Amino acid sequence: MPTSARKKILYVTDQPQQAAGPMAQAIQAAVQDHDVCCFHMTAEKASGIPGPEKGTGPGSGHSTALAHYSFTCPAGSPRSLGTTVNKALDHQIHQWGKAFDLVHLDGSSPAIQAVNLHGNLKELPKVLSLGRDPVAGKAQASSAGAQNPEVERIKHWFQAAGFTYYLPATQQLKQQLSGEYGVHAEKMRVVPQNPGASHWLADLYTETLATCGKLPGGRPYRQCTKCVLDTADDPAIQFDDDGVCTYCHMYKRNDPRAVFKGKDKQKELERIVDLIKKSRKHVKYDCIAGVSGGADSSYVALKLKEFGLTPLLVHVDNGYNSDLSNNNVKKIVEHLGFDLHNYTVDWEEFKNIQLAFLRASVLDIELITDHAMVAYIYNLAAKLGIKYIIFGHNYATEGILPNGWNHEKMDLLNIKAIAREFGGMHTLTMPQLSFWRRPYLYLIKGIRGVTLLNYLDYDHRKAKPEIMAKLGWTDYGAKHTESIFTRFYQNYILPTKFGIDKRKAHLSTLIASGLMDRATALEELKKDIYTPEGFRADLEFVINKLGITEQEFNAFMTAPIRQHTEFPSYVTTHYPLEKAFFDRVRPLTRLIKGRKNKV
């Protein structure tokens, strides 16, 4: 590895150092690629890993130097131990004279847990290797079903430390970390026992630094072995031992089918439908359902009819509806006999906000439409006294979206800030849902959102023929392209300016849900997103609608990209305070719940 690419690794261990052990071999191999400084905490003199030989210590320029320091941990309380350990560690770091790039903790003893990862080491990527269960031999839960306080303490340590990767010594320990401590599979790499694999740790250090954005050249390209997402889609994406990515594992963890495991899904559905019917206070309607003319919302409307519910259908028109979309909404109403409430945005205002977002050069131009739709429906429900809102969003086809591919849809502060700075708009009349109104509607008004399709075995391949036959619905092709602007945004603006191909998220979701195989998805990605004729038609429609020239639009497309959080945003102001508040009250609520359970 070139000298410029060598990184400085702080390796802190409490493990007996045996030269023949897999971790000791890996550390010795890692110094060929990185500068490793070992801080060894032990009650006895260290042995096994040798100290720096003459001429191979820090600063000597030797490419295989391992700086080693042994520290004898004194007995004492956790607080006094922490003070002593961190004082010694800080002193030794100063002696080494290094600004480290990564911290590797090896073990889980009180001394290791006492290492302060929030001072000078706070911003560094962190790796934890474990040779055994962190609470092995310690007090277990006092009664059946009760939580083991030692396990909870270790879980809190894991969470607070923010380890990028965990390195369990065995597959059994990996399963234990996943099952008992909630460590995600994609964050674990089992320590190889094969002596020939000694360079794996050096590679993992490099990958960890790249994952955390600490390598100037970025990370080498890698694609998930299960879905079609890769390191270009999310530079921080992680892969397990089999090459399966973060998003596939997240999908599996959050899949409603797993949530309903052990329960009768049909009875859960019947319970929800019964709750909606009993909540009815309005003279005509027991719920509200948004309809766009797309497959998901059309199928939801059909199911509501079959379940004997009487929804008020709501359609929000932002001025970009395709003829297919309008016709599909019309057919839903005609075939199902539901009332339709249509809301059309103030076009001049909406256009000016869109132009402001284009001038701001931020990613999520659809934030305006998405916020307006949700805000209008919730505010209408509050006005009419309707408690339940039925959404077409579903996990089966929309469960995966890489980080950074959109912005927080409820960020009204961001919308207002960008509209004001780039559009000179100081007041907005568009539907709005502020930070404080959302909890008011939930806690005081009791309004609940229901993702109905998650209670069904939803398969869009079967749903489309059904709504075609029963509603006269017409397919418009790709997902979410019932809106001309959404089609243009996803098919041209996102891939051309931001390097985002939304098809990859959709196809990866279908793979994860078992509705498509990976080979078919890869073939789909080889197809052109747009035909030349389709692109020209949509481009001319959008620029004419916005009242700008093609030259002005191209200037927006080539302007430097800016982040939403460069402007006032709930994400950087309100949300951190909200999180801090709930982090403080969570122990109290757990205590109250625990006492209630005992009673």
Mean pLDDT of the chain: 88
H or E stretch covering 250: helix 246-254
Q: For 236-249, what is the mean pLDDT?
A: 95
Q: For 91-100, what is the mean pLDDT?
A: 89
Q: For 453-467, what is the mean pLDDT?
A: 92
Domain definitions of the chain by residue range: 3-137+149-220, 256-498+530-576
Q: For 268-284, what is the mean pLDDT?
A: 91
Q: Which residue, among 196, 166, 195, has the nearest Cα to 181 in the 3D structure?
A: 166
Pick the CATH number of 3-137+149-220 from 3.40.50.2000, 3.30.70.100, 3.40.50.720, 3.40.720.10: 3.40.50.2000
pLDDT at 598: 47
Instruction: Tell me the residue type at 41.
Output: M
**Burial classification of residue 469, based on how many CB atoms lie within 10 Å of its CB (0-12 exposed, 13-18 middle, 19 or more buried):** exposed
- Beta bridge partners of residue 103, listed in sequence order: 10, 126
3-state secondary structure 510-572: HHHCCCCCHHHHHHHHCCCCCCHHHHHHHHHHHHHHHCCCHHHHHHHHHCCCCCHHHCCCCCC
Q: What angle do CA 14, 18, 20 make, to 5 degrees?
A: 140
pLDDT at 18: 60
Does the structure show a pLDDT above 90 at 540? yes
pLDDT at 387: 96
Instruction: Identify the DSSP state of 406.
Output: S
Report yes or no: 208 and 156 within 8 Å, Cβ to Cβ: no
Distance CA 231, CA 219 (A): 7
Q: Which residue, among 553, 558, 523, 521, has the nearest Cα to 539 in the 3D structure?
A: 553
Distance CA 553, CA 551 (A): 5
Strands 102-106 and 66-72 turn out to be unpaired
Distance CA 190, CA 169 (A): 6
pLDDT: which is higher, 327 or 580:
327
Q: How far, in Å, are 49, 288, 293, 530, 540 from residue 534 at the CA level? A: 66, 35, 20, 6, 10
pLDDT at 50: 39
- The residue to which tokens 């059994």 are assigned: 172
Q: Which two tokens stand for residue 287?
A: 């719920």
Q: For 147-156, what is the mean pLDDT?
A: 87
Q: What angle do CA 29, 183, 201 make, to 5 degrees?
A: 5
Report yes or no: 290 and 377 within 8 Å, Cβ to Cβ: yes
Distance CA 390, CA 453 (A): 9
* Cα-Cα-Cα-Cα dihedral sign, residues 173, 178, 181, 186: positive
Report yes or no: 529 and 506 within 8 Å, Cβ to Cβ: no
Q: What phi and psi, each to the nearest 5 degrees, are found at residue 2? A: -60, 150
Distance CA 379, CA 389 (A): 11
Q: How far, in Å, are 320, 356, 419, 559 from residue 416 at the CA level? A: 22, 10, 5, 21
Q: Which two tokens stand for residue 230?
A: 């890769």
Q: For 122-144, what is the mean pLDDT?
A: 78
Q: Which residue, among 363, 317, 331, has the nearest Cα to 484 in the 3D structure?
A: 317
Pick the CATH number of 256-498+530-576 from 3.90.79.10, 3.40.50.620, 3.50.50.60, 2.60.40.10: 3.40.50.620
- What residues have CB less than 8 Å from 280, skipping those under 6 apart? 286
Does the structure show a pLDDT above 50 at 59? no
Q: For 459-471, what is the mean pLDDT?
A: 94
Instruction: Tell me the residue type at 214.
Output: K
pLDDT at 283: 85
Report yes or no: 364 and 406 within 8 Å, Cβ to Cβ: yes
- Beta bridge partners of residue 105, listed in sequence order: 12, 128
Q: Which two tokens stand for residue 182?
A: 């909630």
Q: Which range, 154-163, 319-328, 487-496, is most confident?
A: 487-496
Q: For 395-416, what is the mean pLDDT?
A: 96
Q: For 74-90, what is the mean pLDDT?
A: 83
Distance CA 509, CA 393 (A): 13
Distance CA 303, CA 47 (A): 70
Q: Helices (H) and strands (E) in the chain — how many of each?
A: 23, 11
pLDDT at 19: 56
Does the structure show a pLDDT above 60 at 599? no
pLDDT at 97: 86
Distance CA 80, CA 164 (A): 28
Q: Is 227 left (phi over 0), alpha (psi -120 to 50) or beta?
A: beta
- Beta bridge partners of residue 188, listed in sequence order: 166
Q: What phi and psi, each to the nearest 5 degrees, are found at residue 309? A: -95, 155
Least confident of 468-477, 497-506, 518-527, 541-550: 468-477
Does the structure show a pLDDT above 90 at 250? yes
Does the structure show a pLDDT above 80 at 521? yes
**Following CA atoms 482, 485, 486, 489 in sequence, which dihedral angle do they give, to the nearest 10 degrees?**
150
Instruction: Tell me the residue type at 184.
Output: H
